[in-house]
Amino acid sequence: MEKKIVLDSGFEFDFSKLLGEGLVEEKEIESISEKIKQAHEAIEVMRKDCFIKGHLSKDGEPEKVCFAKLPYITNNGINTPQRIKALKDWGESLRYNFDAVISLGIGGSFLGNKVIFDIMGGEFWNYKTPEERDGRPEYYFSGNNLDPHRTTDLLKTLTLKAEQKVKHTGKKFKIMLVVISKSGSTIETMANFFVIKEYLENKNELFEVDVTAITDLREDEKETILHKIAKANEWQMFSVPDGVGGRFSIFSEVGLSTGVVLGFDIEKFLEGARDMDQACKSADVYKNPALMNAVLKFLASENHGRDIEVMMPYADYLKSMSEWYIQLLAESLGKKYNRKGEVVYYGRTPIVAVGTTDMHAQTQQHQEGKLDKVVQFIEIRNWKNDIEIHNPYKEFEKLEALDGIMMSEALNAALESNAEALISEGRYSAKFVLPELNEYYLGQLLYLLALTVAYEGELADVDAFNQPGVEAYKKLLGPKLKEIKQRKNR
């Protein structure tokens, strides 16, 4: 049996170093065949009806789970043709019209957007000229922490840019603030929004400011604070859709908003997710990559004590994808109780790593530390930009191996060396292979990971769509902030 699943798109899930003798064994998969069948059936119901057994909102009310609807652009869906057009039109309206966008959000409202920014823009986006960016604005993130130092640095940087523009053109520096919060009461996001908006408006000789709000758009008795504010100020608004948790919102207007600003092909991204969803409808675990991924990680954890997962893409610009995955895995599966109310303390600890960087930092622990890890590699097969290495110091034999090979060839050889070294010591790993790093294959990868945690939640009998542990600290933080204000007002 070939221990990999290859989709028609060329996307691969290679689990040859996770399934086999001395690893997770086929008989273990057979032993939970009924549980696998039930998990698949439960996710089929979720796809059709947005229903997950026993799932309640943070308010204790039944709540839909609709992320599986997001890849499909339909008139009666969440991402309708009209909403996609409105997003794209908004993104185009910023070209050659705004100097910068500041995206303010936390959790999935930051992490998903950062993934798209890194893939489409990258580290040096804001150093490019407007012409090199095809008229698209600079892009900054805030609202994902309460750090006054970084916020001050951001404002100083924007001020310097504005002063230069006013001096050389006589025109103000135009900034679009994109504030993302379903409720409008997210402390980190709203605090940064208040600080930044006030600062920019107080320097109206330098800045021109506009705001776009992405929030829950309902207008009933549960209308959100941010929706009320946005409506009163006539800001452009987009939707945080009902039934879509933040960690899944990259496929909604929340994440797509960053894409349309940068020229990211959001329809190709959703097409990739859609094709992955279709590929994962098979009940055969050996043909369904998300189901197989969930089953193997579940068994590795429960039967073999591998309860740490290292997400290790071999690509610098996929580090933020690993950070997005950390939230996805931790919030979805890190649960004290199962659905019966029994204490289970389920879940794996996720860790960010990047190859080859962390081969010189973490690999010692992966290779010789405790036998408690699964390393999940991501390989890019064909790079859009590649560089041939030339060795000018041919008198040194140790450097000769580099001469005449491509950087990507060296990178992927390092991945294979790492995987082979790990398996030689009984260390578990698996690999996703993307034919290219583009919108389509990114959509395939991220959707597979989202669907995987849905399947694993069913296997473990935990609610993969709530986050009671997050709500616990929030209940304590609000009163503490009120105490601070009371003390200051005495």
- Give the Cα-Cα-Cα angle 130, 131, 137 (nearest 5 degrees): 30
8 A C-beta contact, residue 226 and residue 215? yes
Residue 50, by phi and psi: left (phi above 0), alpha (psi -120 to 50) or beta? left
CA distance 334 to 330: 5
Q: Cis omega before residue 157 (within 30°)?
A: no
DSSP letter, residue 392: S
Query: Has 182 been annotated as catalytic?
Result: no
* Identified catalytic residue from 331, 379, 439, 456: 331
Residue 89 tokens read as 């039109």
List the Cα angle 424/427/431 in 5-degree steps: 100
Determine the Cα–Cα distance for residues 196 and 68; give it in Å rounded to an integer: 35
For the question of residue 370 being annotated catalytic, the response is no
Catalytic-labelled residue, pool 340, 360, 370, 488: 360
Catalytic one of 48, 390, 474, 482: 474
CA 386/CA 407 separation, integer angstroms: 7
Q: Residue 422: exposed, middle, or buried by beta-carbon count in 10 A (0-12, 13-18, 19+)?
A: buried
Instruction: Determine how many CB atoms are found less than 10 A away from the CB of residue 234.
Output: 8
Strands (E), 216-319: 236-239, 308-313
Instruction: Write out the two tokens for 137.
Output: 């604005």
Phi, psi of 210 (to 5 degrees): -130, 165
137 neighbors 94 (Cβ within 8 angstroms)? yes
Instruction: Tell me the two tokens of residue 458.
Output: 């069913």
CA distance 122 to 81: 28
Nearest to 442 by CA among 119, 24, 224, 166: 119
Question: Using an 8 Å Cβ cutoff, are 289 and 5 in contact?
Answer: yes
Helical residues (DSSP H) of 107-224, grouped into ranges = 108-120, 148-169, 187-202
Half-sphere exposure of residue 243: CA atoms within 13 angstroms, side-chain side: 17
Separation of first and last alpha carbons in the chain = 73
What separation in angstroms does the CA of 439 have from each of 120, 140, 401, 420, 452? 9, 21, 34, 30, 20
- How is residue 14 annotated by DSSP? E
Find out whether 50 and 69 touch, Cβ atoms under 8 Å. yes
Which H helix or E strand runs over 462?
none
331 is catalytic: yes
As annotated, the active-site residues are: 331, 360, 474
